[in-house]
Amino acid sequence: MINLEAPKKFQPLIGQAHQVAMNMLRPVSRKYDEAEHEYPKELDMLAAMIDGLSDSGQSQGAGASGVGTASQAKADDGSTRNGTNLASVLSIMEMCWGDVGLLLSMPRQGLGNSAISSVANDEQLERFEGVWAGMAITEPEVGSDSARIRTTARQDGDEYVINGEKIYVTSGDRADHIVVWATLDKEQGRAAIKSFVVPKGTPGMVVERLEHKLGIRASDTAAITFTDCRVPAENLLGSPDIDTKQGFAGAMATFDNTRPLVAAMAVGCARASLDLTRDLLAEAGVKVDHDAPALTQSAAAARFLQMEADWEGAYLLTLQAAWMADNKEPNSLQASMAKAKAGRVGSDITLGCVELCGSLGYSEHDLLEKWARDSKILDIFEGTQQIQQLIVARRILGLSSAELK
């Protein structure tokens, strides 16, 4: 059974990630928020450090590239295991306490890397080891309903020919590979959607523009077109077979692993806001007493206690979803619950902290206003709040997507 405390073996990892967030990410957070689209060169040294830890085995699989399928993570003796998925969410929480946009800009830690780890076979895992992969899902007029993807992949001999347009691709310009979701046969519906690893520079793949955004401005977000873009057949992740009985399950395996990661980002950003707000309230003479009922305290203290309680719920749901993946337990419901809870309370908490701190929260004197801007995307990408609630309802009621829309 899951323990509600972070495992002791991950404490060094958590401590290292927190130090990186405090000493490397926080100091340049405002700089790269203002210099949108400028690559944070400081991350090259950090990426080299993480690569060194990974090679030595000390990183415990932390980061987006460290997640794996439940079957990969299960302990050989069948015992309960705290593995790479849990390590990943714990380290990401700490890094996003520093800066979400910079975390999303980390080389070789893109969401596409998580997709590769989730779906690829053993040969592909070895072949794509060390790449930096962005993930291209969203299309014009096709947002949260990934099953309606219109980008096509037509097999031609030993290659697939990809045609379509993707938007809001995180690290779409900087990453050296892009994981592209496309359909093999539109008439086959969800079951025909597969993901392909497309190397940057492949003829027919063009980065059309970079988007200007409300938050996570340090992270580049691109629109990419694919025109008769040819990739080797072996770059299709997982099985090329269209299994109508399995439906969308193959593609959903990616979301089951990436949604807890995004939830962890929201949890980390919200924690940063709470920590700073607690200090600012104390400086203003507002005492927050955790041993006294909220109704006996000031309105500001009561609001702060409520936000902390919401944060705790999001934190525990995120750990649960990752822990279940590590222990070969289906976690689609829990992954969506964690993403929905963390995405919503992340926005609520960061905005609530801005309100509690008044002019200091709204100004650029501190990072509170930036965290409020950054957190909103975490309630949107990898499936919006509304989509997560729909998935949760389907799982709880035992209804299909056709039965509950």
The 10s digit of each residue's pLDDT in 55-99 is 545 555 555 555 655 444 445 556 678 888 999 999 999 999 999
What average pLDDT score do residues 352-381 get?
97
What average pLDDT score do residues 160-178 get?
96
Contact 367, 29 (CB under 8 A): yes
**pLDDT at position 200, please?**
96
**pLDDT at position 151, please?**
96
125 has a pLDDT exceeding 90: yes
Verify whether residue 382 is a known catalytic residue: yes
Domains, in order of start, for the chain: 8-127 (1.10.540.10), 133-235 (2.40.110.10), 249-397 (1.20.140.10)
Maximum distance among all Cα pairs of the chain, rounded to whole angstroms:
73
Q: Which of the four pLDDT bands, split at 50, 70 and 90, describes residue 354?
A: very high
301 has a pLDDT exceeding 60: yes
> Which residue from 3, 10, 2 is spatially nearest to 84, judged by alpha carbons?
10
391 has a pLDDT exceeding 60: yes
With both helix axes pointing from N to C terminus, report the angle between 332-356 and 299-326 in degrees, rounded to the nearest 10.
160
**pLDDT at position 71, please?**
43
Q: Which amino acid does the sequence have at 73?
A: A
**pLDDT at position 60, please?**
55
- Calpha distance 255→267 (Å, rounded): 18
For 182, the enclosing helix (H) or strand (E) is strand 177-183
What average pLDDT score do residues 358-377 get?
97
Share of the chain above pLDDT 70, in %: 90
**pLDDT at position 382, please?**
87
Q: Which of the four pLDDT bands, split at 50, 70 and 90, describes residue 122?
A: very high
Encoded tokens for 376: 């909103």
Q: Out of 234, 369, 382, 403, pick the active-site residue.
A: 382
Q: Which of the four pLDDT bands, split at 50, 70 and 90, describes residue 295?
A: very high
List, in order, residues 6 or more apart from 337 with CB less than 8 Å away: 317, 321, 388, 392
> Which residue from 148, 73, 74, 184 is spatially nearest to 118, judged by alpha carbons?
73
338 has a pLDDT exceeding 70: yes
**pLDDT at position 1, please?**
53
249 has a pLDDT exceeding 70: no
Q: Which of the four pLDDT bands, split at 50, 70 and 90, describes residue 143?
A: confident
**pLDDT at position 285, please?**
97
**pLDDT at position 77, please?**
58
54 has a pLDDT exceeding 70: no
DSSP secondary structure code for residue 136 in this structure? E
**Cα 152 versus chain centre, distance:** 25
What average pLDDT score do residues 207-219 get?
97
- Calpha distance 118→65 (Å, rounded): 9
